[in-house]
Structure 1
Amino acid sequence: MKKYLVFLIAVLTLSGCGSNTSIVNSWRDPDVTVAQEHFKKVLVVALVKDEASRRITENRIAASNQIFKTSYQYLNESTKQLTQEQKLKILQDENFDGVVTMRLVSTDKETNYVPGTYTGMYYGGFDGAYTGMYGYGFGNWYGMYSPNFYDPGYYQETTSYMVETNIFSLKQNKLIWTGTTKSEYVTDLGQTVDAIMQAVVGEMKKDGSLPK
């Protein structure tokens, strides 16, 4: 239980400032919770094509607590040709009792219009108070439309990433929790992984998989 509490605290303190991440949907096994499993050794598997991204993701999670172990240490080129049963036996021999997988489900691009802002003299006057345009020449009136007074709108393309996180119990050999997150404004993969884990833990606390 002590190790479990340390794990929970470590995950909750992860920073999510690298992206805007939220839970889209989730499901939990009605008969068992993550807390009830009392995991002692969990394999972290990042299902991505790029090996560098795989290692960054797995290392980021593994660094949060010693309960997590990266999959590339156990499942790599040397085990690529093994059957699923043989790979599972490796994990059993290494005393793994849980697995966390992360998989990029889809990448969507959205284009949104960001309206401009107007702070022209007509509303504030030249002296900070409304005085209207009476008494001023065309030159002053025309100055209202200079870049100093008007910031034009623009179109902004945003890419959102849908990531599926699954938690398996090897003792029961079944999926016990799954959730999909949506991340936007991604600038750093490591911080995005932090944000996903933070969102996942928050959702598991809501659905009773973890104690509040």
Structure 2
Amino acid sequence: MKKYLLMLTAVLSLSGCGDNTSIVNSWRDPDVTVAQEQFKKVLVVALVKDEASRRITENRIASTNPVFKTSYQYLNATSELTKEQKLKILQDENFDGVVTMRLVSKEKEVNYVPGTYTGMYYGGFDGMYTGVYGYGFGNWYGMYSPNFYDPGYYQETTSYMVETNIFSLKQNKLIWTGTTESQYATDLGQTIDAIMQAVVKEMRKDGSLPPK
């Protein structure tokens, strides 16, 4: 096993709704890669107002690799700590990296899904029943089938735009950022899995992480 821990590698094995999550855009520092940083202790920060969602998100990421630590374990009194105090805690606890995740936007879109027509009408040619072998009662009966026509309907889709940032505390700067879009999200945990899979895939693509 390599001496350094490659950021986010473990989440590649996670299952989830990855097909509904994709990278919208990303950027990496051209002078440094995540692999080069050799992170050993990384703070995970979910920038959300709801405490339950924050803990679910941070716990989900932290469960993928011992290198990740949840922010609520160290910075739970966020409203009372100054920026300098927070940085002092991270320094004292020997953190060398930070991953932040925040919801950029939540948009709803309503689309019409057209109905389907079975095509079974009398069973003859040109819509007329002719009694020709193979076009008898079985096809004619289709016109009375409840599956004859599946009516259209309106479908509401919610898209979540989430920004993921990776900071190097050693260099005191942002080294990678990416925005993902997730649709049909019904479970927060699985959505987080899918976001991290998309992030890892993009980081392998841009060279931040070595190819699989």
TM-score (norm 1): 0.88
Once the 2 structures are TM-superposed, how far is the Cα of residue 146 of structure 1 from its aligned partner?
A: 5.8
Please say if 1:134 is aligned against 2:129: yes
Structure 1: distance between partners of 2:32 and 2:4: 19
Once the 2 structures are TM-superposed, how far is the Cα of residue 145 of structure 1 from its aligned partner?
A: 6.8
Letter aligned with residue 105 of structure 2:
S
Partner secondary structure for residue 90 of structure 1 = helix
How many residue pairs match? The answer is: 203
Please say if 1:4 is aligned against 2:11: no
> Are 1:19 and 1:184, in contact at CA under 8 Å, matched by a contact in 2?
no
Could you say which residue in structure 1 is the equivalent of 2:111? 112
Structure 1: distance between partners of 2:152 and 2:140: 22
Could you say which residue in structure 1 is the equivalent of 2:143? 144
Instruction: Provide closer, same or farther for how the CA distance between residues 133 and 201 of structure 1 changes in structure 2, counting only shifts above 3 A.
Output: same
Could you say which residue in structure 1 is the equivalent of 2:135? none
Letter aligned with residue 182 of structure 1:
E
For the aligned residues, what is the CA RMSD?
2.3
Could you say which residue in structure 1 is the equivalent of 2:185? 186
Structure 2: gaps spanning 5 or more residues: 132-138
Letter aligned with residue 73 of structure 1:
Q
> Are 2:18 and 2:197, in contact at CA under 8 Å, matched by a contact in 1?
no
> Are 2:24 and 2:181, in contact at CA under 8 Å, matched by a contact in 1?
yes
Q: Percent identity?
A: 85
Please say if 1:45 is aligned against 2:45: yes
> Are 2:41 and 2:97, in contact at CA under 8 Å, matched by a contact in 1?
yes
Instruction: Provide closer, same or farther for how the CA distance between residues 16 and 76 of structure 1 changes in structure 2, counting only shifts above 3 A.
Output: same
CA displacement 1:2-36 (0-9 Å, x = unmatched): 4515x654121121337710000000001111011
Once the 2 structures are TM-superposed, how far is the Cα of residue 132 of structure 1 from its aligned partner?
A: 4.0
TM-score (norm 2): 0.88
